[in-house]
Amino acid sequence: MEFTAATIAGFLKGEIEGNPDTVVNSVAKIEEGHKGALSFLANPKYEHYIYTTGSSVVLVNKNFVPSSKVAATLIRVENAYEAFASLLRLVDQARPRKKGIHPTAVIEPTAKIGAEVYIGPYSYIGENCLVEDNCSIYPHTYIGDNTRVGKNCTLYSGVKIYHDCVIGEGCIIHAGTVIGSDGFGFAPQSETEFMKIPQLGNVVLEDHVEIGANVAIDRATMGSTIIHKGVKLDNLIQIGHNVEVGENTVMAGQTGIAGSSKIGKNCMFGGQVGISGHLKIADGIKIGAQSGVPGDVKEANSILLGTPAINHRDFFRSSVIFRKLPEFVTRINNLEKDVETLKKK
């Protein structure tokens, strides 16, 4: 596919500086630019690349002021990163989409399959399932009995969805993810034995949720584990039984949420964040990577860091003291020696 700078600017409502007839047919990072490529500049620390890039067209913010001549054609937009993302979506949507049901797929007679659905080789669709219009089910995917998959969903290879789960419209679930596996529920019977507690609930993903690769979302003991509308989960995340994740919350890789915790709307968790069980996390909370949260977070829009996680301002003050601990120990040891010397005198 080829586009001129004028076509791109028209789509983005941007302003062109340079040749409007410049043609691009690929995308590239600005530091790896080549002829015919479209790149973007949003982060000032990459500005030096714009003067040497081989890309033909570069998206920049409207307030960008170059310090020397730029060979590429520029398109000025309100937000270069968002504009570039919208172009990538446009290219992605233009790709040819697989259709049809492969003869090796197994679909139980009571399952209902919508229009324009792709079901790849060796996939399984269970009893009383509903797969709605325009879904793509890639090879080796398992959908358990009584599960509903809404319109325009994409389930990549090896996804496993256990029985009775609900997947909303426009969801994307990446390879190897398991939805609806048993929650970690065991009752102690003695010091050495545990009895399994049956997990009778399900998992509900609302609309436009995206789940990364190799994520596990456990079914509820009773009721539902709920991932609300617009949530985005990175790879290798564990969501425990009866957890509720609020709308438009995002979590980076290796985050773990223990059972029955309630996460608010519009939260942002860095990588390897750990949330203890039965907690309530307010709306708009930001938690830095590798932080551990042992208690409720009640103040909305707080920023937390560390283990146990504390307010980011307190964390930074504490980290200054922590770095000076070796110096403090040396000073204390010297003071103790001085005190001993004085005692002897």
| Average pLDDT across the chain, whole number | 95
Does the domain at 100-314 match CATH 2.30.40.10? Answer given as no
User: Exposed (0-12), middle (13-18) or buried (19+): which is 174, by Cβ within 10 Å?
Assistant: buried
Q: Which residues are catalytic?
A: 241
Does the pLDDT at position 71 exceed 80?
yes
Mean pLDDT of 22-44: 95
- Judge whether residue 35 has pLDDT over 90: yes
Per-residue confidence at 320, pLDDT binned at 50, 70, 90?
confident
Q: Same CATH topology for 3-94 and 100-314?
A: no
Q: CA of 249: how far to CAs of 32, 59, 266, 281, 341, in Å? A: 32, 28, 4, 11, 61
pLDDT at 286 over 90: yes
Pairing relationship of beta strands 37-41 and 26-27 according to DSSP bridges:
parallel
Nearest Cα neighbor of 61 from 78, 85, 43 is 78
| Across 117-133, average pLDDT | 98
- Per residue, the 3-state secondary structure of the chain, as one string, reads CCEEHHHHHHHHCCEEECCCCCEECEECCHHHCCCCEEEEECCHHHHHHHHCCCCCEEEEECCCCCCCCCCCEEEEECCHHHHHHHHHHHHHHHCCCCCEECCCCEECCCCEECCCCEECCCCEECCCCEECCCCEECCCCEECCCCEECCCCEECCCCEECCCCEECCCCEECCCCEEEECCCCEEECCCCCEEECCCCCEEEECCCCEECCCCEEECCCCCEEEECCCCEECCCCEECCCCEECCCCEECCCCEECCCCEECCCCEECCCCEECCCCEECCCCEECCCCEECCCECCCCCEEECCCCEEHHHHHHHHHHHHCHHHHHHHHHHHHHHHHHHHHC
Instruction: Give, rounded to a whole angstrom, the gap between the first and last alpha carbons of the chain.
Output: 90
Question: pLDDT of 151-164, one tens digit each?
Answer: 999 999 999 999 99
- Whether 345 shows a pLDDT value over 80: the answer reads no
More confident residue, 159 or 330: 159
The domain made up of 3-94 has a fold known as 3.40.1390
User: What integer pLDDT is reported at residue 337 of this predicted model?
Assistant: 87
Domain boundaries, the chain: 3-94, 100-314, 320-344
